[in-house]
Amino acid sequence: MLLAAAETAGTVKSPIKQLMRHYCTEASRYGDVQIGVNQRLQKVLVLLNPAANRKSSEEDFHEYCEPILHLAGFEVEIIKTDSEGHARRYVEELAVLPDAIIVAGGDGTVSEAVSGLKRRTDGAQCPVGVLPVGRTNTLANTLFRSSEQTNTLEDVRAMANAAYAVVAGKKEKMDVMKIEVLPNEADEKVPEKPVYAVGMLSWGAFRDILSLRDKYWYTGSLRDYTAFLFNAFDGKHSWNCQAKVTFTEPCAGCKDCYKDLQQEQPKKEQPRRWWSVFLPKAKPAQGVDYSKVINDRCSVEHEVQIEPSELILQTMNIEPAGDRNDKPKLSLKVGTSVDSSFSFLGDSWSRLWKRKYIDCITEKEIDVRKVEILPAKLKLEDSEPDLFYSIDNEAYDVRPVRVTLLPNSVEMFTF
């Protein structure tokens, strides 16, 4: 039995070692390039969430990502986050940005880093790398996971792909959601600064129950399924997301949405990589003067009343590349009502098994540029049940919100 176990472990570790040897060899080709006396090593800031993925993120980063960065010749600074909002505050208040920020955590840490960048008063921006070392890595998996298989080898491959993407320097501009809380009866004063997200906002019973999974830690890898088994029948969660939704249609850019686009344009450029001196300098792209583009439908508001069991608002960043189109948009998925707890349980287990957390059964799907979600019910008293949104897998109190699409608003490393 011990011999069989050892052989199995060996067959798993050997391909991982071979895979890492390949990536390290490729990364060292960049690190071996000599730089001039007056040139400096490029500095990357790693925001590491050591609590991510049940505290395994730090070990994964040090084993599968950090060696690739060092071999490529980067100066690596690591900041460990120790509380909610730490990454956001750190990036927002940083005196001088590094050449790149690398997020080693889950979706929530990515959202915090992007929020910190977008909130900076000096307008300075830099590229962002995303390492899939968290529990939920929706964006990173879309960018770097080459297979839907769920095994250790594919997990390591995705991490190595993400780290090597920073080394190779291929970047793509990603859309961002700007989320603002509107005046409401539950808050004496609404937050002055918006939250930014690159993935999705979700609301409903599926989100509520999934957030309880750590209560069932004793079931190990079955904790997600156990959470739904024990909570699908109690009726305590957001089974009816009743709200008024006001939205405008997608627009590629015109004089009406010009202000939204202009306000979010970065004012500073970060320096190029040291090895870019050997590469031809690309000519700057000619920008479009959106103030002269007319789209009569851009500012026309539409209104719908909804009562689904689940509502998802997502960017196209987390769609497969082939499913994205040229016109920037957000996708508003209005789920169906739950017919029975048994059908809800079966559908939820299917989503968990396939890791398709955003694939809810929809009644309608609406493409939007700007949307206001006005819930019919808010938590006003302590005795009332909690109501939460999930914004890039971080919990926020349900409030009336305005969500605006900021197309091509943050630069990220891609593979």
- Residue 116: CATH number of its domain: 3.40.50.10330
Answer yes or no: do 165 and 183 share one domain. Answer: no
**Is 286 inside a domain boundary?**
no
Distance CA 227, CA 317 (A): 29
Res 39: pLDDT? 77
Q: CA nearest 105: which of 46, 65, 164, 49? A: 49
**Would you state the structure tokens that stand for residue 365, as one six-digit string?**
């799907």
Condensed to tens digits (0 to 9), the pLDDT of residues 342-393 reads: 999 999 999 998 878 888 889 999 999 999 999 999 988 888 888 999 999 9
Q: Residue 240: left (phi > 0), alpha (psi -120 to 50), or beta?
A: beta
User: Strands (DSSP E) along 205-273, which ranges?
Assistant: 243-248
* Integer CA distances (angstroms), 226 to 71, 214, 387, 394, in order: 43, 10, 22, 21
* pTM of the predicted protein model: 0.86
Answer yes or no: do 164 and 243 share one domain. Answer: no
**Would you state the structure tokens that stand for residue 217, as one six-digit string?**
């830690």
Tell me: pLDDT of 287 over 80: no
Tell me: pLDDT of 152 over 90: no
Res 189: pLDDT? 87
CATH number of the domain residue 319 falls in: 2.60.200.40
Domain boundary among 131, 150, 169: 169
Work out the average pLDDT over 326-334: 89
Res 97: pLDDT? 95
Tell me: pLDDT of 265 over 80: no
Tell me: pLDDT of 400 over 50: yes
Work out the average pLDDT over 9-28: 82
Answer yes or no: do 218 and 157 share one domain. Answer: no
Answer yes or no: do 192 and 76 share one domain. Answer: no
Backbone angles phi, psi at 257, to 5 degrees: -100, 10
Q: CA nearest 413: which of 74, 39, 152, 15? A: 74
- Residues 217, 223, 229, 231: what is their CA dihedral angle, to the nearest 10 degrees? 60
**Is 21 inside a domain boundary?**
yes
Average pLDDT, the chain: 86
Query: What is the DSSP pairing of strand 394-397 with strand 388-391?
Result: antiparallel
Answer yes or no: do 24 and 130 share one domain. Answer: yes
Tell me: pLDDT of 261 over 60: no
Distance CA 179, CA 175 (A): 13
Angle at 235 between CA 234 and CA 236, to 5 degrees: 95
**Is 284 inside a domain boundary?**
no
Contact criterion met (CB below 8 Å) for 141 and 113 = no
Tell me: pLDDT of 278 over 50: no
Contacts of 140 (CB under 8 A, 6+ apart): 110, 130, 131, 132, 158, 162
Res 284: pLDDT? 46
Beta-bridged to residue 173, according to DSSP, are 411
Answer yes or no: do 121 and 188 share one domain. Answer: no
User: What is the torsional sign of CA 220, 222, 224, 230?
Assistant: negative
Q: CA nearest 177: which of 311, 299, 312, 314? A: 314
**Is 127 inside a domain boundary?**
yes
Distance CA 244, CA 375 (A): 6
Tokens 């080693």, located at residue: 104
Answer yes or no: do 186 and 300 share one domain. Answer: yes
Res 333: pLDDT? 95
Q: Residue 63: left (phi > 0), alpha (psi -120 to 50), or beta?
A: alpha
Q: How many residues does the chain have?
A: 415
Domain boundary among 169, 188, 214: 169
Res 168: pLDDT? 94
Backbone angles phi, psi at 372, to 5 degrees: -115, 130
**Is 34 inside a domain boundary?**
no
Answer yes or no: do 79 and 146 share one domain. Answer: yes
Tell me: pLDDT of 130 over 80: yes
Considering the chain, what percentage of its residues have pLDDT values greater than 90? 61
81: amino acid identity, one letter: T
Tell me: pLDDT of 5 over 50: no
Answer yes or no: do 113 and 16 share one domain. Answer: yes
Condensed to tens digits (0 to 9), the pLDDT of residues 214-233 reads: 899 999 889 999 999 999 99
Res 313: pLDDT? 96
Distance CA 23, CA 167 (A): 10
Contacts of 205 (CB under 8 A, 6+ apart): 237, 238, 239, 309, 310, 338, 344
Tell me how crowded residue 228 is: count the other CB atoms within 10 A of its CB: 25
Res 359: pLDDT? 85
SS3 316: helix
**Is 313 inside a domain boundary?**
yes
SS3 238: coil
Domain boundary among 106, 138, 169: 169
Find the helix or strand (DSSP H, E) in which 37 lies: none
Beta-bridged to residue 404, according to DSSP, are 178, 370
Domain that holds residue 303: 178-254+291-408
SS3 105: strand
142: burial class by Cβ within 10 Å (0-12, 13-18, 19+)?
middle
Res 3: pLDDT? 31
Answer yes or no: do 161 and 94 share one domain. Answer: yes
Distance CA 319, CA 139 (A): 9
Tell me: pLDDT of 34 over 90: no
Residue that wins the pLDDT comparison between 259 and 201: 201
Residue that wins the pLDDT comparison between 1 and 247: 247
